[in-house]
Amino acid sequence: MNILILGSGGREHTFAWKIAQSSKCEKLFVAPGNSGTAEVATNVNISVTDFPAIKKLVIENHINMVVVGPEDPLVQGVHDFFLNDEALKAISVIGPQMKAAELEGSKEFAKEFLFRHNIPTAAYESFTKETVENGYVFLETLNPPYVLKADGLAAGKGVVILNDLDDAKAELKSMLVDAKFGQASTKVVIEEFLDGIELSCFVLTDGEHYKILPTAKDYKRIGEGDTGLNTGGMGAVSPVPFATNEFLNKIEERIVKPTIAGFKKDNLPYVGFVFIGLIKVGNDPKVIEYNVRMGDPETEVVLPRLKNDFVEILQAMASGTLDKINIEIEERAATTIMTVSGGYPEAYEKGKIITGVDAITDSIPFHAGAQIKDGNIVTSGGRVMAITSYGNTYQEAIKKSYQSIEKLHFDKIYYRKDIGFDL
């Protein structure tokens, strides 16, 4: 079959790398893709939200399946667009329909879903410009730190955690009254702060059945020791050492099962990946957020540990036969270290020539913000390349990734040297 992947990051390179290994895939396209996807697929320079252009590409190339990487096209209804078009409706789309994508598109929608289905999560209330005064009063009833979340998509920047009550009130005003995050902060969710260590759980579903992929932990802050600004993710480890079988069981029983059952009860059409952001409070998992896609850079450690033919799994998701699939997981650990452009997540320069990629033999370099220009691989984003390695232990895998990074060069390269420090 012919497959199209939408997206251009490390997650999409990993999808392409894994799909290209399947004998079931004839032609593989990535839109828009990067220098890594170009090695295993045909890149087509169209935006992930340009649905008419995607339609043309799909029809011209007899594409049978579309795998959606990022959340934007899902929240904007790419799956619905296919279902509502006579020429496209028979094509499989991996990713939830718009109504279900609201689980990531709206924090309030996600909190209501969690409470409706008795899934453990932080207590919350939500506020608008009209009820900002009530928001101040609610903040006064909470203990610090204060967690404020813009309801809509805010490019990963919409969550603000503050220690001081006056700062929290000022932030609430800035979000609601001064529209700090534009449309995204017309509503704000204020949450109880949960204290614990975070991990991510990835679930595949065909809407009826589910399969759980390996857990992973990512490192979101730019600085060592989890300090400084939030990023898209600076590294990841799978499996998560503290996620014992007993803990995984709790996640499945208390969170995964009611989540999948909730999709059905609420009529949320869901064929795709469910990324459940969790926090371990004491010995219990609580949900921090849902994402309706795979994580990045978690994908760069989760998919390399999947032994199955990925296309077979995707087909089973599309055809409602996921129960027939037996997920096989690599015993070894996988880790990834993200190399980024100096200055990221604030301003940084692009177009720096990347050398040494071919010299990396003990790790897999997954390209993220990297493109081919005039025959060179050059940086084109903040997160540039994720260096993934296997190891008998996560420590061994991390060591390998750091050794491989020694071979990689571009001006102002930065990466965290302490991935895994807290495990």
User: What residues line the site for ligand AMP (CB under 6 A)?
Assistant: 122, 147, 159, 191, 193-194, 198, 220, 277, 288-289
Span interacting with ligand GLY, options 1-9, 183-191, 291-299, 350-358, rule CB under 6 A: 291-299
Contact indicator for 339, 407 with CB cutoff of 8 Å: no
Q: CB 160 → ligand AMP: shortest distance, Å?
A: 9
What would you report as the CA-atom Rg of the chain, rounded to the nearest whole angstrom? Answer: 21
203-232 residues in contact with ligand GLY (CB under 6 A) are 218, 232
User: Could you say which DSSP state residue 293 is in?
Assistant: S
Region near ligand GLY per CB under 6 A, out of 36-44, 89-97, 163-171, 290-298: 290-298
Beta bridge partner(s), residue 391: 333
CB 377 to ligand AMP: min, Å: 31
Give the range of 24-32, 294-302, 320-328, 375-383 binding ligand GLY by CB under 6 A: 294-302
> For ligand GLY, which is the closer residue by CB, 22 or 259?
259
Which option in ligand GLY, ligand AMP, none does residue 73 bind, with CB closer than 5 to 8 A by kind? none
| Spatial distance between the Cα atoms of 29 and 197, rounded to a whole number of angstroms | 38
**Which of ligand AMP, ligand GLY, none has residue 233 at its interface (CB below 5 to 8 Å by kind)?**
ligand GLY
Burial readout 4-19 (b: 16 or more C-beta within 10 A, e: otherwise): bbbbbbbbbbbbbbbb
**Rule CB under 6 A: is residue 298 a binding residue for ligand GLY?**
yes
State the residue for tokens 């096209």.
73
CB of 185 to ligand AMP, least distance (A): 13
CB closer to ligand AMP, 285 vs 365: 285
User: CA-CA distance, 189 to 122, in Å (whole number)?
Assistant: 11
Q: Is 296 in the site for ligand GLY (CB under 6 A)?
A: yes
Nearest to 386 by CA among 422, 416, 343: 416
Q: How far is the CB of 170 from ligand AMP (least distance, A)?
A: 19
How many whole angstroms separate alpha carbon 312 and alpha carbon 315?
Answer: 5
For residue 304, whether the previous peptide bond is cis, meaning omega lies within 30 degrees of 0, is no
- What is the phi/psi pair of residue 222, to 5°? -70, -30
3-state secondary structure of 259: helix
Residue with smaller CB distance to ligand AMP, 151 or 300: 151
Binding site residues, ligand GLY, CB under 6 A? 218, 232-233, 291, 295-296, 298
